[in-house]
Amino acid sequence: MSSRTLVLGGARSGKSAHAEGLLTEAAVTYVATARRYPDDPDWDARIALHVARRPSTWHTVEASAPADLPALLTATQYEDPPILVDDLSTWLVGVLDDADAWEGDGAEAIAGDIDAIVRSVATCRARLVLVTAEVGLGVIPSTRSGRLFRDHLGALNARVAEVCDEVTLLVAGIPLKLR
């Protein structure tokens, strides 16, 4: 049976670096879920920092379309290298973007994508480490789209945590083992 680990944390909490440190194998499949935006050099710089930190032996796969990530996880075999997904919150942003859900409720439009990712995590046969933002510790967003994202990410995190063997929360760079 493979092991599934969920690493949660706030912005700049060290969650990605912690998740990377959990994998000591030379070969790792790093799944990047962030989309690149042509007019956002700050975002490009953040992505570049993540790329520079990864060992050269790790293989990077970009899974920026909602269906990419569940398909990749479902296709795994026991002998495959470990997989690190960084991160579920940027994956959810893509799901909401593609469903044009920001100004409306969006729950029905994205329910299938969320069900698919939870099923694929539960059935992934390779060692799996997932990174996601913890939204329960933040300020209540003042916009409809902010609340939509917070609510869906909180529900997604809870569902993924249910199917993971280990759950760790990063606070101020300190890992707190929840399960």
Catalytic residue chosen out of the listed positions 18, 50, 59, 152? 50
The one-letter code for the residue type at 131 is V
Beta bridge partners of 4: 128
Q: Could you tell me which residues come within 8 angstroms of residue 86 by beta carbon, excluding any fewer than 6 positions away?
A: 16, 19, 30, 31, 32, 33, 50, 131
Measured in whole angstroms, the distance separating CA 128 from the mean position of its chain's CA atoms is 11
Q: How far apart are CA 70 and CA 77, in angstroms?
A: 14
Could you confirm whether 50 is annotated as catalytic?
A: yes
Instruction: Please give the positions annotated as active site.
Output: 50
